[in-house]
Amino acid sequence: MRRFIIISIVIAIGFGSILIFYSRSLKSGSGLEFQPKVIDFGAVEASEAFSEPLHYVAHLRNFTGNNILIDKVDISCGCTLSDMAAGTIVPAHGDVPVHVSFSVNDHYGQLQSHISVFAEAIKKEQTYQSQVQVRVLSMKPAIVDPQSTIFPPFALGQPFPISSINVLHGNSRTILWDDIQVEANSIKIISKKANKDGITLEISPISDPCMLGSFNEPLLIYLIKDGKRISFPPISTNVIWEVASNLIAKSPSQVYLGLIHPGDPVSGKIIIRSLGNFKISHATASISNSAVADIDCHRTGDDLVEIDYKIKKSLPSGDVSCFIESQIGGGGLEFFLRTPVLGSVKEDGGMQGNGMQ
């Protein structure tokens, strides 16, 4: 009856570390051993690990006086490759190299991969274990604090508020930067000051005259070294604000569809009222993506505007993000209001919300 040696290589990635374990269970005999028994790559930064696969060459040594045939090699994950193959012979009193490569790709968190090597049995029953470990540090070249900036609501005509964003040096030792560039459509950079921890930005919303409503603008931050952008995607942080007026009010501030199914009947209403002595003489409305909904705007008297929306049944699966924009005028004044429409359409979902906030 034929016996087998089973040699397993377990590659485990944990948040902040990669551990590669070599464990061997010999059903019969002794004489195979991975060398060295403990291999430590030290710290490897994620930026290095993501750029190319990790490589290591172990050696499988045969301490017996007989050649040992490797009958089978199993690899559980496509992220792991090895040149060890069935038919490999480990010579008596010799060794063979075992090349292992592991592609981290863009994954964080706990992952595991296994390489199992089956070899013909040798005499005594024993169990051997050895370990190879690699620490892949989850390094960040920069940290943005806070991760998103939310301004308190402010009224049209008031000075726009100012807030600070800190772009801090991260824990990366290879990606170093000395400056930043910022891109945004509706956000003004008031000041940029360097300090020992990084750079502090003072920012403020920019809004067209009489532009009312809720706004959510991404702020893109590029890291700069010696006047050039470092070649990886920019850091993105959201800036959120809402502009109101003492002459006009709108409800809701946003239309939240929630999770809906294609064809679900979803409709609602946006109400705009005049405040004080302001009289509404005309009103129009439109939607930034006509594929999302049909819009009907009508004025009742000189103090009320109703905007009816009806989500189209032909709306395909995917995330919904657009704006219902309206123009309200009277007495020589013109106001432009923006209402975000947010939600998601899924084939296998049901309607979990058609609310207004």
Residue 185 predicted with pLDDT over 70? yes
What counts of helices (H) and strands (E) characterise the chain?
A: 1, 30
Q: Residues 111, 25: one domain?
A: yes
The DSSP bridge pattern shows strands 333-345 and 211-225 to be parallel
Q: Are residues 132 and 11 in the same domain?
A: yes
Average pLDDT over residues 213-232: 84
Q: How many domains does the chain have?
A: 3
Q: What is the pTM of this model?
A: 0.48
Q: What is the CATH number of the domain that holds 158?
A: 2.60.40.60
* 95 & 215 share domain: no
Q: Do residues 270 and 223 both lie within one domain?
A: no
Residue 231: the pLDDT is 60
Residue 14: band (very low, low, confident or very high) from pLDDT cuts 50, 70, 90: very low
Q: Check residue 326 and give its pLDDT.
A: 92
Residues 100 and 8 in one domain: yes
Locate 55 and state its tokens.
Answer: 């490589």
Do residue 17 and residue 129 come from a single domain?
yes
My answer on whether 233 and 343 are in the same domain is no
Whether residue 170 sits in one domain with residue 286: no
Write down the pLDDT at residue 41. 55
Q: Which of 127-131, 234-238, 331-335 has the lowest mean pLDDT?
A: 127-131
Residue at which a domain ends, from 72, 107, 137: 137
Q: pLDDT tens digits, residue range 96-141?
A: 887 877 776 555 444 566 667 677 655 443 333 344 455 555 567 7
Structure-model confidence comparison of residues 65 and 41, the more confident one: 65
Amino acid letter at 322?
C
Q: Do 157 and 71 fall within a single domain?
A: no
The amino acid at residue 276 is: G
Domain boundary among 137, 163, 195: 137
Each residue's pLDDT tens digit, 291-319: 999 999 999 999 999 999 999 988 888 88
At which of 137, 161, 183 does a domain end?
137
Which domain covers residue 146, as residue numbers? 142-244
Q: What is the CATH number of the domain that holds 123?
A: 2.60.40.10
State whether 16 and 43 are in the same domain. Answer: yes
On the question of pLDDT at 350 being above 70, the answer is: no
Q: Are 221 and 144 in contact (CB under 8 A)?
A: yes
Could you write out the DSSP letters of every residue in 118-139? EEE--SS-EEEEEEEEEEEE--
Same domain for 119 and 161:
no
Q: Are residues 233 and 271 in the same domain?
A: no
Span between the terminal Cα atoms of the chain, in Å: 74
